[in-house]
């Protein structure tokens, strides 16, 4: 029965994705789905996009190993979403023709900055995509008995198929379905797991007391604060989330959808983390990577196992399709398009985006097979964004004073600071180089070229 439920669910996702993506006529529609979505659709697709393998299975894994401090660290992401809803979303309407990060960067910093942000966007999206696809392999192996390699090929094959054909429209429609399934299934898994362990009081006696407390030793507190900032900065305005700000029918829809998503993430991160504690209470010798699937398998009857397993698959596929689509758009719109001596036709741009989607997905499969911890690879991938692109991108969106010299100085300082801190000094005090690189970028950006001009919003054609 479980296999039938999961197979049926995957078939529905594939059919809906292919159906939703029919009759796409150009790159803009492929990237932003006609900018036609309201707050609830943005809330669902944004939430489904960020709740990937790292923020679900990875969170359960880290809480299994280290306790609830990881939940608190993840709330940095929640804070980030709320701040974006408050300060960035209201200003996204200044760029009505934008379909990618590069479309916002070029008017402020020039074509070179567009290409630079495209390259780093592709690297970031490909890394996070690989993490999600790798997690799919674990799920298929545990619930369907499929070898991990074949699980990766099957799960990624479905995502590649509908994302290649339908672009953002297919991604949004499948995200909405996946969000509904995961919003029901994951809390159900937590509740059933606690009951299976004998209730909360029994469970708490089988979990080390330190797993329920935050660190009090200064070095550990600094490390936790650093991890919190890593999640505040690491995925701020990365291509998939920026694209969600660009698909709204009006600024109000974008603001409310983003705020709802940030508020939803607070209890959701607590739920996925507590599943890690349930797994620890049930089997302390368990491979931490399998904490969440193990709780599902041990605490639920077969029919509910199938439903919740579908929720886990939804979590990972919904994030994978978003990063796959964004990698393709970043490559085609922000790298190839500005570097070509002659512009492509509308049909040529669409064809390039689809071919790029297909090739990026294939490379993600190769990358995924070498991953051990999905949340660790997320943190590593973040180093390609916050220390380089985030500061100038936020400045452009807010209409602050900008200039090419500021962009170059900030990016150079961010890269140098990250590399020196992580590899030259060995991450002193447990502070990740991403945080140091971000502030190095910010400092250089603000102190360079006081003659920088104020940007003018693009004019609608």
pLDDT one-digit tens code per residue, 424-437: 898 888 788 888 99
Residue 171 falls within a domain, yes or no? yes
Residue 399 placed within a domain: no
Task: Please give the tally of structural domains in the chain.
Answer: 1
| Segments forming the whole domain that contains residue 277 | 2-373
Dihedral of CA atoms 107, 112, 114, 118 in degrees, nearest 10, equals: 180
Give the confidence band of 270 by pLDDT, cuts at 50, 70, 90.
Answer: very high
139 assigned to some structural domain: yes
Residue 154 lies in a domain: yes
Between 96 and 145, the more confident residue is 96
Q: β-strand 453-454 against 401-402: which pairing, if any? A: antiparallel
Q: Is residue 251 part of a domain?
A: yes
Tell me the pLDDT tens digit for each residue of 99-136: 899 999 999 899 999 999 998 888 888 777 777 777 77
Query: Is residue 419 a part of any domain in this protein?
Result: no
Structure tokens at 168: 């953002």
pLDDT of 88 strictly over 80: yes
> pLDDT by residue (tens digit) across 273-318?
999 999 999 999 998 888 888 898 888 888 888 888 887 777 777 7
81 lies in some domain: yes
Whichever domain contains 169, its CATH number is 1.20.1730.10
Distances (CA, A) of 291 to 41, 193, 285, 296: 31, 11, 10, 9
* 365 falls within a domain: yes
pTM assigned to the model = 0.85
Average pLDDT over residues 225-231: 89
| CA 126 remoteness from chain centre | 11
Q: How many helices (H) and strands (E) does the chain have?
A: 20, 2
């Amino acid at each position: 029965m479980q296999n039938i439920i999961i197979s049926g669910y995957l078939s529905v996702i594939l059919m809906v994705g292919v159906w939703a993506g029919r009759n796409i006529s150009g790159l803009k529609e492929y990237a932003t789905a006609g900018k036609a979505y309201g707050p609830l659709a943005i809330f669902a697709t944004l939430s489904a996009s960020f709740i990937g393998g790292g923020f679900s299975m990875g969170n359960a894994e880290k809480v299994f190993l280290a306790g609830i401090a990881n939940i608190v660290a993840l709330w940095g992401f929640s804070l980030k979403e709320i701040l974006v809803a408050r300060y960035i979303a209201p200003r996204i309407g200044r760029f009505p023709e934008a379909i990618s990060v590069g479309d916002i960067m070029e008017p402020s910093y020039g074509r070179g900055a567009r290409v630079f942000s495209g390259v780093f966007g592709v690297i970031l999206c490909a890394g996070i995509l690989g993490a999600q696809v790798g997690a799919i392999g674990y799920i298929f192996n545990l619930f369907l008995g499929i070898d991990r390699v074949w699980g990766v090929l099957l799960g990624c094959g479905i995502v590649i198929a509908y994302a290649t054909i339908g672009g953002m429209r297919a991604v949004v429609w499948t995200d909405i379905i996946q969000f509904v399934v995961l919003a029901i299934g994951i809390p159900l898994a937590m509740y059933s797991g606690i009951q299976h362990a004998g209730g909360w009081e029994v469970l708490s006696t089988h979990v080390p007391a330190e797993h329920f407390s935050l660190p009090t030793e200064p070095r550990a507190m600094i490390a936790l604060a650093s991890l919190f900032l890593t999640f505040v900065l690491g995925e701020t305005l990365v291509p998939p989330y920026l694209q969600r700000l660009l698909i709204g029918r009006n600024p109000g829809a974008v603001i409310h959808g983003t705020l709802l998503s940030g508020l939803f993430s607070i209890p959701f991160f607590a739920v996925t983390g507590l599943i890690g504690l349930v797994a620890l209470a049930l089997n302390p010798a368990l491979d931490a990577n399998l904490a969440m699937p193990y709780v599902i398998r041990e605490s639920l009857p077969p029919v509910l196992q199938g439903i919740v397993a579908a929720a886990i698959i939804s979590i990972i596929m919904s994030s994978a399709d978003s990063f796959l689509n964004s990698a393709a758009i970043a490559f085609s719109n922000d790298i190839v398009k500005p570097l070509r001596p002659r512009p492509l036709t509308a049909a040529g741009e669409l064809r390039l985006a689809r071919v790029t989607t297909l090739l990026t997905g294939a490379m993600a499969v190769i990358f995924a097979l070498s991953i051990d911890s999905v949340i660790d690879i997320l943190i590593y991938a973040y180093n390609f964004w916050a220390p380089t692109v985030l500061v100038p991108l936020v400045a452009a969106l807010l209409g602050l004073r900008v200039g090419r010299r500021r962009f170059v100085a900030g990016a150079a300082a961010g890269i140098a600071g990250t590399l020196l801190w992580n590899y030259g000094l060995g991450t002193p005090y447990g502070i990740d180089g991403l945080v140091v690189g971000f502030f190095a970028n910010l400092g250089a950006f603000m102190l360079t070229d006081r003659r920088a001009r104020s940007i003018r919003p693009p004019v609608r054609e």
